A and B are shown apart, each in its own frame.
Chain A
């Protein structure tokens, strides 16, 4: 039986925007009423374009930034309002790996200092720290002589390994990986993804994997949430999403990959996403959706179960399934079928 490790319930994060006095206060609605559950020992993926609220969601879950409202429950305990000792005990089980390893490591610190800092913060005696740091470096495949190196002496892949060693050093159970490989070359990315998969099975970790790269997410994740302008529009098993995406936005996203499945009508998005400061009323995707009807601009669709564990937030699933386009100016078919890398046959 699978057990739920983390449960996110109606999570909201609004950032206030400075406005003139006496005018109505404005907010950037970065994460707006998002709910899902993450199973133990699984990899949960979050995809979306820049500005969709992916990182805000990841950071709110760990309370690196405090959520505006909603709940985060871990091991059945509500952690949203934990304080003091209780909170530090909870957060010792978590860690966050940032996108850019060069800016997330202090340039004036050696590898040893960076990796041992979380231990010092947790009050681990200095005698034990060296041993723990070495274990952690060993786990990410870096030899002992890296201890005294500075970030500028490391390549991109090595810096990211150090960042992962630092995240691992307190032996967390739950890790948020925020685009951990997007700054790396293909061959280094493959090495790092393999490392992350090995660490997951070795230490029984649960990952929350944030990425805009569908291929990476489709490769390593078990379950995927697709995010658009602060909302989760589709939530399902990874294999399901790639075989038969149901939300028009997911379909448009997946049409950008060469290995598109033939179960749906691929199309290209036109224009750019609206600002999260002033998102469209009703369904947030209605302004770019070729299947939008009158109800879409009026009423916000709820994320509802379609079959089994597949959830979609869309009013017009019938129209989408039949490929009945309502707004032709939003529909740009995918023109050429070209051979993709890695062979798609």
Chain B
């Protein structure tokens, strides 16, 4: 949208399977995405759509039963999938940091905040303990935590959920990364706190020049902060575009159905309480349907959808959709 910076991350045709006792789980199926400097890209999808797997694949932090079938991940010119493990250590947590969903389980309950942020600074930026303390306070101030000195001296359980999440963001920020991957960073906190954190993140990326991949199941959250959106369904991208494009004229039937399923307050007593819901359930990743993955639930399905997987097609500036309705 507004960014014209250099490309930080490119994912091409990424497919990934998990081996399981029940068979092969096709978690990612030909994912493409591109992220520019200072861009905030939202990846939305429902449970099981592969959004978290994508996040972990980006830093090659995958369980042993994961197998990359095809594709390429290029971060600042380096191929993540081919890089030696030693090289990745410089990237993980340093050039790419992560903010996870539940701050309570990602902060160590036995250490004070200052020891946890300090350790990151010592490890990744090679500063002395004394400097680390001062810098930690600065980063806590950057994430708008009141009274940073007291927070530094606290254990995680002494902080509220919102404060813990801010500490996590400060930790992600303090290595001055090029990319922050945030996996549902606000789904554990209340709406009012959520808005505060989202607006903070959006502001910080301009001041600190990082790009951000924002993984969430909530279209509402995406609409609040992101520049661009990628919608995932059953391990595939089905539509990408700017927030304005996706929300004002969604093209893929799944995106359209998802929008219609979001409850909105009624405006008049005559308006129905019922919502337009998508019938059926997302497909079993063990045995995906042939052709377009959405075709069994799609209201516009025709023969071609059952046979052929649709390719991405441009429908507007920076707006792409994988659906046979838009070919020719």
Contact = CB atoms under 8 A, between A and B. Distances in A.
Contacts of B327: none
Interface string B239-268: 000011001100000000111111111111
Contacts of A270: 196
A128 interface: no
Nearest to B268: A239
Given A186-B217, A271-B146, A343 B273 contact: no
Interface in B138-165: 146, 160, 162-163
Contacts of B243: 338-339
A285 to B, nearest CB: 12
Given A190-B276, A239-B268, A342 B260 contact: yes
Contacts of A93: none
Contacts of A253: 191-192
| Among A220, A243, A259, residue most surrounded by chain B Cβ atoms (within 10 Å) | A220
B275 A239 contact: no
Q: How large is the interface on A (under 10, 10 to 19, 20 to 34, 35 or more residues)?
A: 35 or more
B67 interface: no
Given A239-B269, A256-B195, A343-B247, A216 B277 contact: no
B274 interface: yes
Given A185-B217, A197-B273, A239-B269, A218 B223 contact: no
Contacts of B275: 190, 193-194, 219
B92 to A, nearest CB: 29
Interface string A186-202: 11111101100110000
Interface residues of B, number: 44
Interface string B204-237: 0000000000000111100110000000000000
A219 B160 contact: no
Given A272-B162, A340-B220, A186 B190 contact: no
A259 B220 CA distance: 11
A190 B192 contact: no
B146 A187 contact: no
Contacts of B13: none
Interface of A: 43, 49-50, 155-157, 185-191, 193-194, 197-198, 212-220, 238-239, 242-243, 252-253, 256-259, 268-272, 335, 338-343
Closest 6 CB pairs of A and B: A218-B265, A190-B277, A190-B261, A185-B46, A219-B263, A341-B219
